[in-house]
A and B are shown apart, each in its own frame.
Chain A
Amino acid sequence: MADLKPVRTYLGMPLYRPKTAFFELSSCEGCQLQLLNNEASLLDFLSLLDIVNFREAMTEKSDEFEIAFIEGSVTRSDEVERLKEIRKTANTLVAFGSCACFGGVNQMKNRLGSEWVKKEVYGDHPVESGFARPLEDIVTVDLKIFGCPIKKKEVEKIIINIALGKAVVHPVYPVCMECKANENICLFDLGEPCLGPITRGGCDSWCPNSRFGCWGCRGPADDANIDQLREIMKKHGFSEETLRDRLECFGGFSKYTEAFRKNPEKKKEGK
C-alpha cells in the first residue's frame, strides 16, 4: 500500500505521511473496523498514511513504523512484552479507543475476582487472563483517541492534523454541549440516568441522540464535577450503584470510583 500517491503539500508545506501500524491487544477490534467502515473517504484517509501493518485490512506486514495505533487493553503477559516491543519502534504511540485508554469494558472484570471470571468465560478450558490494564500502565502513551468505539470523523481529523503537523486537541467540555446543540431532550427529563454532564464530548452526543443515556466511554471532561453529578443522580432517584455501574463501565473514571468505594455515603453537608 506504500507510496500510492506522491508527497503532497498544504500551503507549500509538505505533508507528513508517517509509516503507520495498527495493532490489537485484548479487544473486539471494533475501533479498527469503524475506520474501514468509512467508505466515502476511506481512500483519501488511507492515502494519508503509509500503512505497513493493519491486520484487518491487509495481509503483508512490516515491523518498521513511526506511528503505532494500538487497540485494546493489556490482559496477558505476552501482550505486555508485545506492547514494550512496539514502544521501542514507534515514535508516536497512540492508545486507540477506550480499552487502550482506560481498560475499557474489559476492565470491569478486574473487580469480579479473576477465578470466577475465568470459569464463567472459559469454562473447563482456562486461558491466561489477568487484570485488564490501559496501555499507559505499561508504556508511555503519546496520544489518546477516546471512545467505544472511536468516532471516525474525529480520527480523520486527527490524521489530517498529524499530516499538517498540527497539535491534536480533544474537546475539553462535556457531552451536554453537543447534546444541547443537537436539541435532544435531556435524559434526566425522561427519567434516565446519564453521564453526559461529566463525560468528555467529541462524540456528537452519539448515545443521547438515540435517547440512550451516556455511559462515559470517553472518560471525564477537563473540569468534570463528579461530586455534583452524584448528588443529582441521588435527587433523581437513582441509586449509588446505578451511578457506579456507569462510572466503572469503561474505566475512564477509575480515579473517582476508587474514592467512591472507599467512601460510599460521603456526607456533603453545609452546601
Chain B
Amino acid sequence: MIFKVIKKEELKHLFDVLAAENRVVGPVEAGRDSNGRPIYAFDQVSDFNNICLDYTTTKISAKRYFLPYQEDLAGFRIDGKDWHKKINYNIESPYIFFGLHACDINALNKLDKVLLGSVYPMPYYAAKRKNMFIIGLDCIPQPYCFCRSMGADTALHGFDMFLTDMGGQYFAEILSDTAFNFLKNIKTAEPAYADRMRYIKIIAEKKRKFTVRVDTTDLANILDMEFQSDVWKQWGEKCLACGTCSQVCPTCYCYGVEETVNINFHEAKKTKMLYSCNLIDFAQVAGGHNFRLKRDARLKYRYYHKHRGFVEAYEESLCVGCGRCGEACLAEITVPAVISSVRGEES
C-alpha cells in the first residue's frame, strides 16, 4: 500500500478534478430532525461544499447505487406466440463515491462474496460495483455503532483510496493505480514519521470511542441452539414487519421478481425489487402455504441468515455493525439487544 498526506485544501481540488468528468456521490445533509440534528443521505453532488465530510451515518445506506430498490432485469418484445428478450445491466457510466465509511465499504466486500464470488455471479451488481471508484473516509463512532464487534471498523480492501482526518491534513491510503494517477492532479506529500505516529494515535483513539458491543463469540452455534428460544416471540411481538431494517441495511440483498405486461401488450418486463424477509409473504409458495407465517419466525430468520448462515458459507457475518437497522426501527429492535437476549444476558 502507498501512503500519502494531503493538505485539507487540496481535497477540494481533487473533488473538482473528479467532478468535472464523472458523476460523484457523497454524503449530504438531507434535512434536520425535530431536534435540529442533521439527517444525512448519499446523493449526487456537484459542489464540494455540499459534501458533509464530518457526517455521522446516513439514515439509509448507499445501496441504491449498486443494488437499486427496483431494477429491470430484462425487457421483452412480444411477437405472436414468440418473444425476444433484451438484457440491460442498467449502468452507462462510472460513479465516484466520495466519502464512504469503513462499515459501508465492508458491506460491499461482503456483498461481493455472495453476488460476485459464488456460482452465478450477478451481472447487474457486478457492472455497478466495477464502475465505482471509492474514496473511503474515517469516522467517529456513534452510540449505535458496533462495527468494531463485527470486525468492520477498518476496511482493508474494496476501496481505491481511504482518508483519515488528522486535523489540517488527511492521511491517505492508496490502493488502486487509478487513485494514484488521480492524485497526480493535486499536491501530496510522503508521510513523515510524525504523520505516521499521529495516524496510529488517531486510530487508537477511535477504538476507545465505541460504547456498544456485540459479543459474537460462538454466535453461529448459539443461534442454532436457541432456535426455539422464547426471546424470539418477544421480539416478534414488537416487530412491525415493515421491512425498514432490510431497506436501510447496506448488506440486505434479498429480492423478489415480478413480470408485468405493458399496456400496449407488445412489451413486457421482468423487474427485481429488493424485498425483506420480515414481510409476511417472503416464504409463501404458489398455492398459499407460508413457511414463515409468524413475525417471530421471520425476524429470527433474518438474524439466522446474517449471523449464522453467512458465517457458515463465508466465515464472517452478513452484518457490518453500522447500526442503521436499529436506528430506523420504530419498535427499537436493535442488533445488540436481540443478540444479547438470545445469549440469555440481562438487558
Contact = CB atoms under 8 A, between A and B. Distances in A.
B25 to A, nearest CB: 13
25 contacts: A12-B80, A41-B263, A44-B263, A163-B265, A164-B261, A172-B279, A172-B281, A176-B242, A176-B247, A177-B242, A180-B60, A180-B328, A181-B64, A181-B69, A181-B274, A185-B39, A185-B59, A186-B59, A191-B34, A225-B239, A225-B240, A225-B241, A228-B238, A228-B240, A271-B234
Contacts of B314: none
Interface residues of A, number: 41
Contacts of B70: 181
Contacts of A44: 263-264
Nearest to B82: A11
B238 A177 contact: no
Contacts of A185: 30-31, 33, 39, 59
Contacts of A228: 237-240, 331
Contacts of A232: 330-331
A8 interface: yes
Best-buried of A172, A183, A191 by chain B (most CB within 10 Å): A183
Nearest to B280: A223
Interface in B153-210: none
Q: How large is the interface on B (under 10, 10 to 19, 20 to 34, 35 or more residues)?
A: 35 or more
Contact of B261 (A160, A188, A224, A271): A160
B241 A223 contact: yes
A190 B243 contact: no
A114 B242 CA distance: 38
Contacts of B101: none
B237 A10 contact: no
Interface string A158-191: 0010011000000011101100110101101111
Q: Which 7 A-B pairs have the closest CB atoms?
A: A191-B34, A180-B247, A181-B69, A176-B242, A12-B81, A223-B280, A177-B243
Interface in A29-54: 41, 44-45, 48
A99 B6 CA distance: 63
A198 B240 contact: yes
A214 B119 CA distance: 42
B244 A160 contact: no
A15 interface: yes
A228 B333 CA distance: 12
Contacts of B242: 173-174, 176-177, 196-197, 221
Interface string A72-92: 000000000000000000000
A221 B243 CA distance: 12
Contacts of B80: 9, 11-12
Interface string A198-237: 1000000000000000000000011111001100100000
B260 interface: yes
B41 A177 contact: no
Contact of A10 (B234, B248, B265, B295): B265
Contacts of A156: 263
B78 interface: yes
A157 interface: yes
A175 B33 CA distance: 20
B293 to A, nearest CB: 9
Given A8-B265, A190-B34, 4 more contacts: A180-B60, A185-B33, A223-B295, A228-B331
B276 interface: yes
Best-buried of A44, A185, A191 by chain B (most CB within 10 Å): A185
A248 B185 CA distance: 62
Contacts of B247: 176-177, 180-181
Nearest to B259: A166
Given A160-B263, A164-B261, A186-B328, A173 B240 contact: no
A265 B83 CA distance: 60
B248 A180 contact: yes
A94 to B, nearest CB: 18
B183 to A, nearest CB: 32
Contacts of A177: 242-244, 247, 276, 279
